[in-house]
Amino acid sequence: MSNATIAKDRAATTGLNEYQLNLLKRINNIALGLMPEFEDKSEAMGAVSLDDKTLFQRLYTTMLEQNTRVPDSELRKNRRRREHLEKFYDQLQEMGGTLKVHDVANIPGISRQGVHARVKKNKLLAFKQNGDFIYPRFQFTDSGLLPGFEEVMGAFDPAIHPMMILNLLKTPIDIYGNGVRRSPIDILQSGANKREMDVLIRNANLFGADMAS
């Protein structure tokens, strides 16, 4: 450990009382006990890239897996579910990131109450992360809602899960039959014309019908 790292660690603990230092030692011991689970480079790098809340949740579930007596099949299922969620949140970041409700409420023409109302009416995409709602950034512009997005969202059956709607919105389609495929999100962000809007709304309606059949 370098002298700079040692000095930084000492500075971080300056001002902590005896009880806080003892608690810090416990937390450090717990973290050290979890390190064998992150021997694989990809596992460790994936954990490092998480935000603090998600990382804490990841460490907590890893500790539970270490100490709980459940069948290996159940542990594998829980691990796959967690990995799928982490991959999903990574995809949202790649698509432009996410906003919290207070960020959305700062966009012109949208209030905090308006955000919740639009989610209930199936006009906005929202996902739960660590107990809070997050909103994909692509459905907004600096001046308000992405033009046409509410109309497309309103064409989906309200019973369809937001993750399935997102999958459709990011899947490229060929509207003009010329071999050029673009995702509905890209089409909306480029300023969809009437023909494109008609296709997007029709596909959303058909998606609901296909799910019901």
Q: Which helix (H) or strand (E) holds 61?
A: helix 52-67
Least confidently predicted of 6-20, 37-51, 133-147: 6-20
3-state secondary structure 64-83: HHHHCCCCHHHHHHHHHHHH
Where does the pLDDT of residue 181 fall: very low under 50, low under 70, confident under 90, or very high at 90 and above? very high
> Letter for the amino acid at 55?
L
Q: What percent of the chain has pLDDT over 90?
A: 33
Query: What is this structure's pTM?
Result: 0.63
Q: Read off the DSSP letter of residue 35.
A: G
CA gap 49, 38 in Å, rounded: 13
pLDDT tens, residue by residue, 20-36: 888 888 888 888 887 87
Q: Domain segments of the chain: what residues?
A: 3-94, 98-212
CB environment 44-82: b (16+ within 10 A), e (fewer): eebbeebeeebeebbbeebeebeeeeeeeeeeeeeeeee
Least confidently predicted of 3-12, 76-85, 89-98, 198-207: 3-12
